[in-house]
Structure 1
């Protein structure tokens, strides 16, 4: 687990959620992007941007504004940078009958109010950023 070396690690739901939300906010990503439940641990390596979230159980969340069902595994990992998460693992979005894994999330810079989700299959979907605001 060399990628986790030097990480800031927070245990427990309260601390973990606060840390995850703070990281999203710092990198100008919507705070409702990762609606996790029963967080066990959140870790972040500032030097590389590597982040992980462990939660007690898999979560399915329906983003109401865009009627999109998204599945979050018990472990979510990725590299966070300004307005972007890349090499994302543990997140899938329902597309018709398939659940392609989401591998990258990018917010337009300069801001246009759009956020883009890219799957490993090369499919890109664009939505309004406000669909992923906290509480959505």
Structure 2
């Protein structure tokens, strides 16, 4: 059992869990909206052909997970791509996703795991993505909105 799967199992007891692609997508989008994370920032549910199998959220800890049938990717721009693993986990709080596992960003030739997304940093119209290696990138929110179309 992978470390991600063990973390999910530890959080299952008090979590609300949904199955089926449409239900998972709807509940995850509701969660993002509840915590003021613009829907365009975490585009996993918008990837064409993505089939979500399970979504869970433990409200007491803020832990969420998404399981899909196969890995997916989303092209953000000519030089930028996001990759989503079969299991994606993290913690959510107001305007922030942290300790994310299962998401990688590729910029030109460099592919790094993304561990944190902060909305509204350093200004309200910006999004900061932090890689596990400590590198970060601040982008205008409009970059994500344009990629979502």
TM-score where L is the length of structure 2: 0.83
Superposed counterparts of 1:24-63, under 5 Å: 24-32=32-40, 33-36=42-45, 37-63=50-76
Q: In angstroms, what is the RMSD of aligned CA positions?
A: 1.9
Where does the alignment leave 5 or more consecutive residues of structure 1 unmatched?
none
Superposed counterparts of 1:1-136, under 5 Å: 1-32=9-40, 33-36=42-45, 37-64=50-77, 67-108=79-120, 112-133=124-145, 135-136=148-149
When residues 82 and 68 of structure 1 are mapped into structure 2, their CA distance, relative to the original with a 3 A threshold, is: same
TM-fit CA distance, 1:131: 2.7
Deviations 1:52-74 (A, max 9, x none): 0001111110124x852110111
Partners of 2:80 and 2:63 lie apart in 1 by: 26
Aligned residue pair count: 135
- Relative to its length, the structure with more helix (as a share) is 2
TM-score where L is the length of structure 1: 0.90
Partners of 1:3 and 1:125 lie apart in 2 by: 30
Ranges of 4+ aligned residues in structure 1 off by more than 4 Å: none
